[in-house]
């Protein structure tokens, strides 16, 4: 299957991967989330060539994940900021952080930690249901068609 | 930066991407999450060649994300099941689902929906803090070193 077929699959996972399914996409977004916004700083952090980073930032802008703001006129220099669409990828980064912390941290333990500024504590974010606030885990959740969802919500209709 | 350098970066996001940063990894995991466990069924669902799927399943097994169980002796046939390590990638899939539903669903709307079996309702999972149960969003969360986390937890130490 060609990568370009992803977008045509009737699945939001596949469609999202079409946009963010390359590892560098996430690393550039990670830097901007962390407040590393200027071209030179991102380049230094990722250790990639100027032309490569230029092309990647353009693709992220074309996808509507970041925009740029000029902070110096001569020579023109830009800062990169997340759009709402880009910022909404935050849970994806959280998922990668949590999994990497758990399985790939090695003997030194996780290199960084998440802090919830609202309460000031380090946090291990968990997913909860928007309806009942109960925890969302693989075993208690199904990703189904709308017809199947209606059956699950009304077991009697299913039996009948 | 070569992809092989990802694992050496002191960042759980980069390390996770080293393991799951290829789009096909996620799509195979998605199928197994959805209960599509048998080689033939996964192959049919993804539309990929036998040798390609064989290689990918082997890499997922080598990474410890899935294991296989023989369900037929002659000829030997296998089902694939998530390990705990693989199942813990569930929040990553949820993040992709939610983002794709919001930004890439098009005029037809999201193709599938998430159902929380515990309450029976369709759900829009959200992240909450393990400490205060408040919502976790980009603007109220920082991904920092342990020293910075200590400062954030104790603002007076920082001022002093």
- pLDDT at residue B19 is higher than 70: yes
The minimal CB distance from A119 to the residues B5, B94, B129 is found for B129
CB contact under 8 A, B122 and A153: yes
Tell me whether residues B16 and A104 touch, CB distance under 8 A. yes
The DSSP secondary-structure symbol of A106 reads -
Q: Please give chain A's pLDDT, 160 residues, in tens.
A: 455 577 778 788 888 988 888 888 899 999 999 999 999 999 999 998 999 999 999 999 999 999 999 999 999 899 999 999 999 999 999 999 999 999 999 888 898 999 999 999 999 999 999 999 999 999 999 988 899 999 988 766 555 4
Res A125: pLDDT: 96
Which residues have CB under 8 Å from A86's CB, separation 6+? A29, A32, A60, A64, A65, A66
Q: Is the pLDDT of residue B22 over 80?
A: yes
**Helices within A22-104 (DSSP H only):** 23-33, 39-46, 50-62, 84-87, 90-103
pLDDT tens across B89-133, in order? 999 999 999 999 999 998 888 989 999 999 999 999 999 999 999
> How much is the pTM?
0.90
Q: Which of residues 18-77 of A touch B (CB under 8 A)?
A: 18-23, 26-27, 30, 33-34, 46-48
Q: CA of A157 to nearest chain B CA: how many angstroms apart?
A: 13
Cβ-contact A71, A79 below 8 angstroms: yes
Is residue B160 very low, low, confident or very high in pLDDT (cuts 50, 70, 90)? Answer: very low
3-state secondary structure of A40: helix
Closest residue in chain A to residue B154, using alpha carbons only: A120
Q: Where do the domains of chain A lie?
A: 3-87
Q: What sign results for the dihedral spanned by CA atoms A34, A20, B93, B18?
A: negative
Is it the case that residue B44 has pLDDT exceeding 90? yes
pLDDT of residue A2: 52
Query: Does B11 touch chain A if contact means CB atoms closer than 8 Å?
Result: yes
CATH 2.40.420.20 applies to domain A3-87? no
In this complex, is the C-beta atom of A2 within 8 Å of any C-beta atom belonging to chain B?
Answer: no
Instruction: Say what the pLDDT of residue A39 is.
Output: 94
pLDDT at B2: 52
Which is nearest to A141 in space by CA: B12, B54, B131, B35? B35
A137 contacts in B (CB within 8 Å)? 90
Which of B16, B33, B136 has its CB closest to that of A99?
B16
Rg for chain A, CA atoms, rounded:
20
User: Would you call B124 and A130 a contact, using CB atoms and an 8 Å cutoff?
Assistant: yes
Q: Nearest Cβ partner of B117 from A19, A20, A152?
A: A152
Residue carrying the six token digits 């209960």: B35
Of B22, B91, B104, Cβ closest to residue A12: B104
Contact by Cβ (8 Å): B113, A149: yes
Q: What are the φ/ψ torsions at residue A141 (nearest 5 degrees)?
A: -135, 145
Choose, out of A106, A136, A154, the residue to mutate when testing the contact with B (most B CBs < 10 Å): A136
| Residue that the structure tokens 């794709």 belong to | B100
Q: Is A105 within 8 Å of chain B by CB?
A: yes
Q: How far is A82 from chain B (nearest CA, A)?
A: 10
In this structure, are residues A110 and B9 in contact, taking their beta carbons and an 8 Å threshold? Answer: no
Q: Which two tokens stand for residue A47?
A: 């250790």
């Amino acid at each position: 299957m060609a990568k370009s077929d992803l977008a045509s699959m009737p699945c939001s996972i596949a469609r999202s991967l079409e946009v963010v399914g390359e590892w560098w996409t996430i690393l550039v977004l990670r830097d901007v989330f962390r407040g590393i916004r200027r071209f030179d700083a991102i380049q230094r952090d990722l250790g990639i060539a100027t032309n490569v980073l230029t092309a990647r930032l353009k693709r992220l802008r074309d996808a509507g994940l970041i925009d740029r703001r000029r902070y110096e006129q001569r020579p023109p220099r830009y800062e990169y900021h997340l759009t709402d669409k880009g910022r909404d990828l935050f849970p994806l980064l959280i998922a990668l952080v949590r999994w990497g912390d758990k399985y790939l941290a090695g003997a030194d333990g996780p290199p960084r930690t998440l802090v919830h500024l609202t309460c000031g504590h380090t946090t291990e974010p968990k997913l909860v249901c928007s309806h009942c606030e109960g925890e969302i885990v693989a075993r208690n959740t199904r990703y189904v068609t709308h017809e199947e969802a209606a059956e699950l919500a009304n077991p009697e209709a299913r039996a009948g």
